[in-house]
Amino acid sequence: MAKRLTPIPFVGNPESRNLGIQDQRYVNIVFERVPTEVLKQHTIYCVKRPGISNEIQPVTTSTGRGIHSWALTGSTYSVFGNAIFSETSTLTASMNTSSGRCWFVEIPPSTGAAQLVICDGQDNYNITSTGVITQIDQADDADYPTSTLGPVAYLDGYLFQGASNGRIYNTAINTVSSWISGDYITADTHAGALEAIYIQKDQIMGFTKNRIEFFFNNGNPTGSPLLRIDQNTIGLGLASRESLAWSGEAACFVGENAGDGDAGRAIYLVQSLSKLRDISSPVINRFLTAEGPSISSCTAWMERVAGQLVYCLNLAVANRSFVYHFETGLWPEWETSSQARFNCVSATSRNGALYLQDASNGRIYTFNASTFRDSGSDFRVTLQPTRSEFGTPLRKQETGLSIIGDSTLSTVQVYANDDDATTTYTQVGEIDMTSPQKRTTRLGGFYNRAHQFRYEANSSFRVQAWQPEIKKYGV
């Protein structure tokens, strides 16, 4: 007689064991934590992510390089190729570069006039609230540093900019356009070029390939106002400048231990001053290693989606997008109906809405809570628990399977893989989610099995657990 097992949560499955090569996966979902009656415990639901719709489309099909919403003007600024846009309008200046990440920083009116600075990794482009652009390079200012890097940082009236020669330069106080050749501090007490700078609270972080250093405004009367905090130096390097992303709440990046090469890569959260936390998983680290030198081509962004803070990392070689969910510490994947990854390279928030910049088609999207399609096309949710023997290595039969979750307007297809030597899944059942039972029967025999649950309809999807019915032979 078949035995109905205890419901198995999709998140935190205590019954399964990793027996094979198939990883546990969550595709195109966000997580929802619901408190239980037991103190300090929660039930975690897998929820289909919102769909995206076309919101802004500048007249271009160039490479997406960055996007930022400036509260002062109420407009969203973006860079596609060598053009700077405000909403759908092209601003007058064109950049000297057409590829690579562009970085934004807002300058408050205390400098004389509020400005938005865009750094393309070569020059700076200062934009006033009326849309006037001033390009700052060595042709305009002989003291403007060479070999500059993004991001740029603003602190205490100074604009700071890193350079590949290891220096962190600064403007004169209360200006973003006047540079002084001797005003800099050299980052990295050990050998290695500077990769990026980032401001954390009231300190500047300087990233190299093998060190992270911290600087504060010491108020020095000449030269750089910064002073290094030697005791805070961290023996960990930045593997990819493009992986660095932040919000007002946190910052994440792909780091690596230089001595371990690619194998020493992991994703780190900047928790507080001089404190990092490894938020990777063995699966994520395996993909980071496989990227090799192409890790420099990754892209990343951090924003809130459906009320939850996420960090989205797009990997070029793997062609997959991993999305860290801060509330649960889990790594779902996102993809679209036409691509194996979520092809948005930058994001920004404005008036409670999230805007996403496509990598190449010139579009800016927004998440739409009222639809579960991407630009009119259905996308698939995939839930893949870890492989299990269900308590015995002997052959067994799955006589039934049900899902615990909300009613929806469509069906869930149930797939299975019974051969760990392959990654091929075969459909073994279908569950009508409008039915009170939410159950399918006669799913076949196996020794050990990995399940997949697929949902592709344009409707909500919210599930918590699944419950197999197993008939064991010889027991």
Whether 183 maps to a domain, the answer reads no
Strand partners, 374: 377
Return the pLDDT at 318: 95
Of 135, 13, 51, the closest CA to residue 464 belongs to 13
Task: Give the confidence band of 37 by pLDDT, cuts at 50, 70, 90.
Answer: confident
Residue type, 190: H
pLDDT value, residue 22: 57
At residue 262, the pLDDT reads 72
- 345: closest CA among 332, 356, 337? 356
For the sheet containing 426-432, what is the strand order? 299-305, 308-315, 320-325, 333-334, 25-27, 381-384, 450-455, 411-417, 426-432
DSSP string, 34-95: EE-SSTT-EEEEEEEPPEEEEEE--S--S-EEEEEEETTTTEEEEEETTEEEETTEEEEEE-
Is 181 in contact with 227 (CB distance < 8 Å)? no
pLDDT score at 338:
82
pLDDT tens-digit readout, 422-460: 889 999 999 999 999 999 999 999 999 999 999 999 999
Per-residue pLDDT of 395-428, as tens digits, reads 999 999 999 999 888 999 999 999 988 889 999 9
- Examine residue 12 and state whether it is found in any structural domain, yes or no: yes
pLDDT > 50? residue 112? yes
- Partners of 321 in the β-ladder: 314, 334
Flag whether 404 is in a domain.
yes
pLDDT digit string, tens, across residues 189-243: 666 689 999 998 889 999 998 889 999 999 999 999 999 998 888 989 999 999 9
**What value does the mean pLDDT take over residues 236-257?**
92
C-alpha distances in angstroms, 170 versus 153, 163, 174, 181?
Answer: 9, 11, 11, 9
pLDDT of residue 218: 96
451 touches 387 (CB < 8 A): no
Q: Cα 51 vs. chain centroid, distance in angstroms? A: 17
pLDDT digits (tens, 9 = 90+) for 316-349: 999 999 999 999 999 999 998 888 899 899 999 9
Cis peptide bond prior to 151, omega within 30° of 0 = yes
Quick one: what percent of the chain has pLDDT higher than 70? 95
Please check whether residue 401 lies inside any domain of the structure.
yes
* Domain around 415: 3-28+382-472
Q: In sequence order, which residues have a C-beta less than 8 Å from that of residue 370 and are 6 or more positions away?
A: none
Residue 169: the pLDDT is 95
> What's the rounded Cα separation, in Å, for the pair 120 and 110?
24
Q: Tell me, letter by letter, the H, E, C secondary structure of 234-293.
A: ECCEECCHHHCEECCCCEEEEEECHHHHHHHEEEEEEEECCEEEECCCHHHHHHHHHHHH
Using DSSP, state whether 218 is helix, strand or coil. coil
List, in sequence order, every beta strand (DSSP E) within 81-157: 83-86, 89-94, 103-107, 115-119, 124-128, 133-136, 148-155
* % the chain with pLDDT above 90: 65
Residues 343-368 pLDDT 10s: 899 999 998 899 999 998 889 999 98
What SS3 state is found at 362? Answer: coil
Output the domain CATH number for residue 453: 2.60.120
With 50 as the cut, is the pLDDT of residue 14 above it?
no
Tokens of 106: 């807002």
Q: pLDDT value at position 279? A: 96
58 lies in some domain: no
Strand partners, 349: 354
Total domains, the chain: 1
Contact 339, 352 (CB under 8 A): no
